[in-house]
Amino acid sequence: MDENLIDTHNPCELADPMFLENETLFRNVFEQSAGGMALVDCNGRLLRVNHALWAMLGYTEAELLAMTLPELLHPDDHQQYYTNTQTLLADAVQVDHAEWRYLHKQGYHVWTLVSMALVRDAIAQPTCFVVQIQDLRAHKERDVADAAHAQALHLLFEHSSQCIILLDPAGIVLEINQAALDCAGLTRAEVVQYPFWEMRWWSITPQTQQQIQAAIAQAQQGHSIACEIDVLAVENQVATLELLLKPVTDRTGQVIMLIVEGRDITEAKRARAAREQMEDRIRDAFDYATIGMALLTPDGRWLKVNQALCDMVGYAEAELLTMNFQSITHPDDLAENLHYASQLLGGVIRNYEMEKRYIHKRGHIVWVSLSVSLVRDAQGTPLYTVAQTQDITRRKRTERELERQTSELTRSNAELEQFAYVASHDLQEPLRKVASYTTLLARRYKGQLDPGADKYIDYIVDGATRMQNLISDLLTYSRVGREQLVMEPVPLREIVDQVLSDIGATVRESEAVITYDVLPTVSVNRQQIGQLFQNLIANALKFHGHAPPRIHITAELRSDAWIIGVRDNGIGIEPQYAERIFAVFQRLHSRTEYPGTGIGLAICKKIVERHGGSIWMDSEPGQGSTFYFSLPLP
């Protein structure tokens, strides 16, 4: 390619000698220009392009020189190109400006600002166009960004959940967003270009309007104003706004606009009032509770105590708040209390209860029932413990007195049992002598004395015999509680069979029929359970009606015990005597009707209770009775 900028063989060659003399200067300007430059002939063919242009469009210089300018333009800009060239050719303007889109080699379009001038030769004939091309991509991107920013601000303004109003410095409404219109129940036409203080919001009271006018006056002086204010909202409902009035100033500090931001806090204020009311109730419940209440730090220092606790331990609140619970806890209870507190803080337990002793300010002991729970923050860090304390000193005294009385009663019962055993045992021998000699006296001298003497001798024999039976039963009763209870697995059928063998004569005489179900093997004392069955079967034989006795023994397994029943067809018992019959010496019939000492069922009750069970009766007069007793499973 020729080193000269202008090709002398080109029909549109620049022939002006002055131009040729300044060719070097023109070349430098052309090549070093930061913007794209091109020389284009009258047919649109590119004659010369600078580095900036082919760098802008992504082509090489050779590729561009093989193309025409319209080939590089967006189709929609072709008409603009022809219009611009025709305007220049008609000398309508010296330089024509336009925005064109050039086609980049990679396929996308580049927005440019184009300045085009026509070059003529010495005889005023058009030779070529000088085209300067400035890349507008950065400007276009900035315009797009500015438009997007403006759109975002508009959307934020319109769709904000807060009320936003723009005022001129005099307080006239310039703009208002939808949230504010919805809250006020107004339209934009009713608000814009009107004084802000005339909005229906402030019509709730004259004082409210005056308050807003005073706030605007302060904002006009450059001050920001924040307040809570009640307003007349939509449907004439009273709402509370959290209002912020801020001035906007220019570089000189002059207020050019006022921005009003309002947030409807009606529900929040109601919730806050309800929460405060609840907190007041909780505080009252804490302060006036009849049991001791306290909040303590995790290390045991008192944070808050109520009057009941102060009264309980004798310290004023101010005194307790300088102390910890360890300082008034009895030394013998401190280790257990600290162990529970450690487990609580370590998350092993969620709360704990214990009985402990506080040392009253005056020095005496106060027994309390203590319940403690721990409050943690959202991260699980212990904040404080809540302690509830109930004075149980009186109950403890009562318990100690009951323990003393129980101990005394146990000792007394033991002495009575010992006395009964000794008395019944030692009385047997003299009674035996009395009965023997009285019997001899009756045999030898009966009929030899007068009739009165014979009757007296009979009385003596009968009394001695009954006394012997009574003492024998008392001795049996006392032995039940004194003998060591040796337990062993025993088939109940063996025990029943032995009892029936022992009282076989009585069974035959009464023509009784005795049956039983399949009986279990149970861990019992063989001798005492034998005594139990014998007494129950003997009673069934004794208290039969006109029909021969029918006795049946049942066994039922329940969740924790065997229930044994002895059912008869005897005379039955009135329900009101169901408990009385198991007491010592309690008889429902005279000795002339049914003999006995009234101790048999008491012995049964004592045997069953020593085995950990219970005994009861189900009966209907004239229909027979069933005596049940339970034998717990091992």
Question: Rounded CA gap, 340 and 473, in Å?
Answer: 55
* Higher-pLDDT residue of 225, 483: 225
- Please give the CATH topology (third level) of the domain spanning 289-391: Beta-Lactamase (3.30.450)
pLDDT in tens, 443-493: 777 777 777 777 777 777 766 666 666 666 655 665 665 566 788 999 999
What's the pLDDT score for residue 56?
Answer: 87
Identify the CA nearest to 31 among candidates 68, 61, 72: 61
Whether 594 has a pLDDT exceeding 70, the answer reads no
Cα separation, 540 vs 570, in Å, equals 7
Question: What is the per-residue pLDDT for 149?
Answer: 60
pLDDT tens for residues 144-168? 666 666 566 666 666 677 888 899 9
pLDDT at 1 over 60: no
Question: What is the chain's mean pLDDT, rounded?
Answer: 82
Three-class SS state of 276: helix
For 257, list phi and psi in degrees, rounded to 5: -165, 155
Q: Would you place residue 20 in the very low, low, confident or very high pLDDT band (cuts 50, 70, 90)?
A: very low
CB-count exposure of residue 99 (10 Å: 0-12, 13-18, 19+): middle
Place of tokens 């040392």: 359
Give the pLDDT mean for 222-247.
Answer: 87
User: Who's near 386: CB < 8 A, 6+ residues apart?
Assistant: 293, 294, 295, 372, 373, 374, 375
Nearest to 361 by CA among 293, 312, 315, 307: 315
* 53 has pLDDT over 70: yes
Encode pLDDT of 162-214 as tens digits: 888 899 999 899 888 888 888 888 888 888 899 988 888 888 888 888 888 89
Higher pLDDT among residues 308 and 159, named by residue: 308
Check for a shared fold between 17-137 and 289-391.
yes
Residue range 432-453: mean pLDDT, rounded: 74
User: Could you tell me which of 134, 38, 131 has the C-alpha nearest to residue 85?
Assistant: 131
Which helix (H) or strand (E) element contains residue 551? strand 550-557
Asked if 284 contacts 301 with a C-beta cutoff of 8 angstroms, the reply is no
Q: Are 385 and 295 in contact (CB under 8 A)?
A: yes
Please state, in angstroms and rounded to a whole number, the distance separating the CA atoms of residues 132 and 90.
20
CA dihedral (308, 313, 316, 319) positive or negative:
negative
pLDDT of residue 15: 41
Which residues, other chains included, contact 50 with Cβ-Cβ below 8 Å and sequence gap of 6+? 30, 31, 33, 36, 37, 38
Angstrom distance (rounded) from CA 309 to CA 326: 15
Q: Where residue 7 falls among pLDDT bands split at 50, 70, 90?
A: very low
Do residues 631 and 614 lie in contact, with contact meaning Cβ atoms separated by under 8 Å? no
How many CB atoms are closer than 10 A to CB 120? 15
The first and second tokens of residue 266, run together, are: 């009606």
Spatial separation of the C-alpha atoms in residues 288 and 281, rounded to whole Å? 10
The first and second tokens of residue 16, run together, are 């002006």
CB within 8 Å of 493: residues ≥ 6 apart: 516, 518, 519
- Structure confidence by residue, pLDDT tens digits, 490-542: 999 999 998 898 888 888 888 899 999 999 999 998 888 988 898 899 888 88
- Looking at domain 483-632, which of 3.40.50.300, 3.30.565.10, 3.30.465.10, 2.40.30.10 is its CATH number? 3.30.565.10
- For strands 238-249 and 225-232, give the pairing: antiparallel
Q: Evaluate if residue 576 carries a pLDDT over 80.
A: no
**Calpha distance 7→564 (Å, rounded):** 135
Which conformational region is residue 263 in: left (phi greater than 0), alpha (psi within -120 to 50 degrees), or beta?
Answer: beta
Question: Is the domain 160-269 a CATH 3.40.50.2300 member?
Answer: no
| 17-137 placed in CATH 3.30.450.20 | yes
Using a CB cutoff of 8 Å and minimum separation of 24, what contacts does 472-477 make?
472/424, 472/428, 473/597, 473/599, 473/600, 473/603, 474/420, 474/423, 474/424, 474/599, 475/420, 475/421, 475/424, 475/425, 475/428, 476/531, 476/599, 476/603, 477/420, 477/584, 477/599, 477/602, 477/603, 477/606
**Which residues, in sequence order, are CB contacts of 171 under 8 Å at separation 6+?**
195, 196, 197, 213, 216, 220, 258
Q: Tell me the per-residue pLDDT of 64-118, one tens digit each, with 9 for 90 and over.
A: 899 898 988 999 988 988 988 888 888 877 888 888 888 888 888 888 888 888 8
Q: Where are the domains of the chain?
A: 17-137, 160-269, 289-391, 397-478, 483-632
Q: In which band, very low, low, confident or very high, does the pLDDT at 589 lie, cut at 50, 70 and 90?
A: very low
Among 281-285, 374-378, 435-439, which range has the highest average pLDDT?
374-378
The predicted pLDDT at position 9 comes to 39
Query: What letter represents residue 428's amino acid?
Result: Q
d(CA 513, CA 550): 5
Tens of pLDDT along 345-372? 999 999 999 999 999 999 999 999 999 9
311: left (phi over 0), alpha (psi -120 to 50) or beta: alpha
- Give the H/E segment covering residue 373: strand 365-376
CB-based contact 290:310 (threshold 8 Å)? no
275 Cβ contact partners less than 8 Å away, ≥ 6 residues apart: none
CATH for 397-478, among 1.10.30, 1.20.1440, 1.10.3470, 1.10.287?
Answer: 1.10.287
Which pLDDT tens digit goes with each residue over 370-420? 999 999 998 999 999 999 999 999 999 898 888 888 887 777 666 556 655
Q: What is the mean pLDDT of residues 43-66?
A: 88
- Looking at 5-19, 46-60, 615-629, which range is the least confident one? 5-19
